[in-house]
Amino acid sequence: MIAIIDYGVGNLRSVEKAFQSLGYQVVVSGDPKKILESDKVVLPGVGAFGKSMENLERAGMVPVVKQVIQSGRPFLGICLGLQMLFEESAEVFGDEECSFRGLGIFPGQVLRFPPSELKVPQIGWNQIHKNKNIPLLHGIEDGSFVYFVHSYYVKPAVDDLVTCTTNYGFDYCSGIVSQNVAAFQFHPEKSSRVGLQILKNFGELEF
């Protein structure tokens, strides 16, 4: 069973439908017991970092996420679900910059794209370039196009975490992996054949 964490935000149903289209049993739940009983866990997310962390804490999911990761079960973060794994995020509201604490699973920051001629948020298709071969990217060609919607990117403090990068004015981390944890800035559930292959690879993971 694959559990998708429901904490009041995110693209839950589209992730659920993508897994179901591949034949996997999926449950969308905000019940810590159901999450902890599942074989694999997905943390999706869209929107503001601070609000999402607040919702995650209110739902009692912060210790659940940490317990799942420590248990060694396959864990997948999607979009904001990648960003929340890091220590902190710098969000800009008007002229004011605020810092919000993340889950702190990995060292590093979440930063806003710097001012440039490129539009922020980045919305649409862009390429991923693989730094390493991992099971989740099996069958995915280097330079494949996937779908992004985001204004912020992660800057890991440990380079070895980075499994793929994307260029949007500069090369930034668009995916990480560490033991049983993988997370991507893009949306596999919206990335057509490439995204479905990644979700299929996740469903087939065994530890």
The answer to whether residues 129 and 165 touch, using CB atoms and an 8 Å cutoff, is yes
Bridge partners for 4 per DSSP: 28, 42
- Is residue 139 left, alpha or beta, with left meaning phi > 0 and alpha meaning psi from -120 to 50? left
d(CA 144, CA 191): 10
Bridge partners for 158 per DSSP: none
d(CA 162, CA 33): 31
The answer to whether residues 125 and 146 touch, using CB atoms and an 8 Å cutoff, is yes
Q: Just list the catalytic residues.
A: 79, 187, 189
Give the 3-state secondary structure of residue 127: strand
